[in-house]
Amino acid sequence: MTKHIFVTGGVVSSLGKGLTSAAIGLLLEKRGLRVRMQKLDPYINVDPGTMSPYQHGEVYVLDDGAETDLDLGHYERFTNSLLNRDSNFTTGRIYQTVISKERRGEYLGNTVQVVPHITNEIKACIRKLDAPDVDVAITELGGTVGDIEGLPFLEAIRQIPLDIGRQNCLFVHLTLIPFLKAAGEAKTKPTQHSVGQLRQIGIQPDVLIVRTERELGRENAEKIALFCNVEKNAVIEEPDKEFSIYEVPLGLVENGLDQLIVDKLGLTSAKAIDMSEWQQLLHKVRNPDHEVTIAVVGKYIQHKDAYKSIYEALDHAGISHSTRVIVKRVESEELERQGPESVLSGVDGVLVPGGFGMRGIEGKIDAVRFARESGLPFFGICLGMQCAVIEFARNVLNLKNANSTEFAAETDHPVICLLQDQRTVTDKGATMRLGKHDCLLEPGTRVAEAYDAERIGERHRHRYEFNPEYRDQFNHGGMRLSGLSPDGRLVEIVELTEHPWFVAVQFHPEFKSKPNRAHPLFSGFIEAALNHHQERLQLSL
């Protein structure tokens, strides 16, 4: 039967609960167990698709088109867990289901209430992970214990042991032990309070993972164990990591977490752990032979999670080339003010990521122009491709004021526009072109070479498309339309032949990159950046 692990968080948010949950999944897989992961988010939006990246960080897209929390990105990068639209539930989604059941009359005669109707629905979502091919289901609860909106979720997970047996459930609570410089010591009180709150709800954590700035010491760990009513060996330290997030799983193994979980859940089929692949990965991260600087030109640049998967994918590509990738985060409006020459001098590649809305667009287009004209490796993703198309139309094809109808509805040259089937859509939630779509690559192009394939499948999240009426002009002008949808209707990839590396894609390749399996396009981009870097060094000698 499937055993369940629940990961909750306390004291403060942003402790890396998603990363820790993903690391637990990874450790269990490294012990030969089959894992499935899930995130429950207590906010009311039905999914994060309508939220600004400033509020929520990146929206992570799955193959089936579900717009999900960015923690699912950690799950996919760290584990082989199958993920689909049933891997992320919000309060909004749960209520939507319960309310439509009520309207259909499924609760006829009853008063519909948070307990049991909402909690039963949450439990049903959790139990969807039960399957013969799943040894352990890991459910991460978003937010922090004490949040009003988290209560029904906590109540639901409290009840699961009643249904499947306490011995088949494990409650992991992640908290912070702050180090107070003035007092010169680590403080355990907030953790005690947080566990106290959980116990009031009826949940006794089995394992406490404590995030610390400095080493805690056994004495403190024992104190926490005593006050929080957990076993001494079940207080696991997770100190801040200096180099990389890839250190997290190894630290947890060192502190005995995998064995603890195996013992507590009686996972008798678990093998001895083999972390050799992960150790090699970390070795490469710590000892790079080269270094490149990539400018990411975006508009949500101050938010550290707004382009999360892009930063990760750049790192993966760096690892595959033994290269440390330094990201220069460029605010596109800043580039508008200062000009590309000063902002982009000294970088080895420019990446323009996805985005929505008008702000900062001209800065991105300036960045494309600079990269195209100076032979700087360029990678455009989604909106980044649309900017590349607009730039080429304006400055090479001389289509004056060419634009996307997203930014200039009345432009004379709508090189990016809504296609017929999108024009009548007015709802904003889950109405974009979403999820995995196939794409045919034209043989002999840079992308066909990078993928070493003729047909690929990549994830999408956009409304606007390359306007098919302009295809011939672009082809004749020297921009190659190197990837098309299988029916030939949609332009998915453009590239410049007369340039060291200029590729722009309508999809989001960053969602399919893994630490040990860099995405071919990111890999190609970093390789080109490396060549650029070396040429630059030679010139300066």
Catalytic center residues: 382, 508, 510
Select 57 or 318, whichever has its Cβ closest to ligand GLN. Answer: 57
Select 191 or 332, whichever has its Cβ closest to ligand GLN. Answer: 332
Q: Shortest distance, CB of residue 19 to ligand GLN, whole angstroms? A: 24
Which range, of 106-114, 141-149, 211-219, 354-362, touches ligand GLN by CB under 6 A? 354-362
- E strand intervals along 316-443: 323-331, 349-352, 378-381, 403-404, 414-417, 433-441
Site membership for ligand GLN, residue 356 (CB under 6 A): yes
Q: Shortest distance, CB of residue 383 to ligand GLN, whole angstroms? A: 3
Which tokens is 328 given?
């220069």
- 3-state SS assignment for residue 499: coil
Among 464, 466, 511, 522, binds ligand GLN (CB under 6 A): 464
Q: Shortest distance, CB of residue 381 to ligand GLN, whole angstroms? A: 7
Q: From residue 424 to residue 463, what is the string marking binding to ligand GLN with x (rule CB under 6 A)?
A: -------------------------------------xxx
Burial 460-476 (b: 16+ CB within 10 A, else e): bbbbbbbbeebeebbee
Site membership for ligand GLN, residue 520 (CB under 6 A): no
Site membership for ligand GLN, residue 246 (CB under 6 A): no
Report the C-alpha gap between 25 and 20 in whole angstroms.
Answer: 9
Report the C-alpha gap between 330 and 298 in whole angstroms.
Answer: 6
Q: Shortest distance, CB of residue 357 to ligand GLN, whole angstroms? A: 7
Select 260 or 383, whichever has its Cβ closest to ligand GLN. Answer: 383
Q: At what angle do helices 276-286 and 308-320 cross, to 10 degrees?
A: 90
Report the C-alpha gap between 538 and 541 in whole angstroms.
Answer: 5
H helices of 133-267, in order, are 151-164, 189-201, 218-228, 247-254, 257-265
Site membership for ligand GLN, residue 383 (CB under 6 A): yes
Q: Shortest distance, CB of residue 88 to ligand GLN, whole angstroms? A: 18
Site membership for ligand GLN, residue 406 (CB under 6 A): yes
- E strand intervals along 42-82: 60-61, 67-68
Select 61 or 208, whichever has its Cβ closest to ligand GLN. Answer: 61
Report the C-alpha gap between 238 and 39 in whole angstroms.
Answer: 21
Q: Shortest distance, CB of residue 462 to ligand GLN, whole angstroms? A: 3
Site membership for ligand GLN, residue 414 (CB under 6 A): no
Per DSSP bridges, beta strands 35-41 and 88-90 are parallel
- Residue 196: CB atoms within 10 A of its CB come to 14
Per CB under 6 A, contacts with ligand GLN among 250-309 are none
Q: Shortest distance, CB of residue 494 to ligand GLN, whole angstroms? A: 14
Radius of gyration in angstroms for the set of CA atoms belonging to the chain, rounded to a whole number: 25
Among 18, 161, 354, 377, binds ligand GLN (CB under 6 A): 354
Question: By CB under 6 A, how many residues form the interface with ligand GLN?
Answer: 10
* End-to-end Cα distance, the chain: 65
Among 382, 397, 484, 496, binds ligand GLN (CB under 6 A): 382
For 239, phi and psi rounded to 5 degrees? -70, 160
Would you say the C-alpha torsion 10, 15, 18, 20 has a positive or negative sign? Answer: negative
Sequence length of the chain is 541
Q: From residue 143 to residue 162, what is the string marking binding to ligand GLN with x (rule CB under 6 A)?
A: --------------------
Site membership for ligand GLN, residue 491 (CB under 6 A): no
What residues make contact with ligand GLN under the rule CB under 6 A?
354-356, 382-383, 406, 461-464
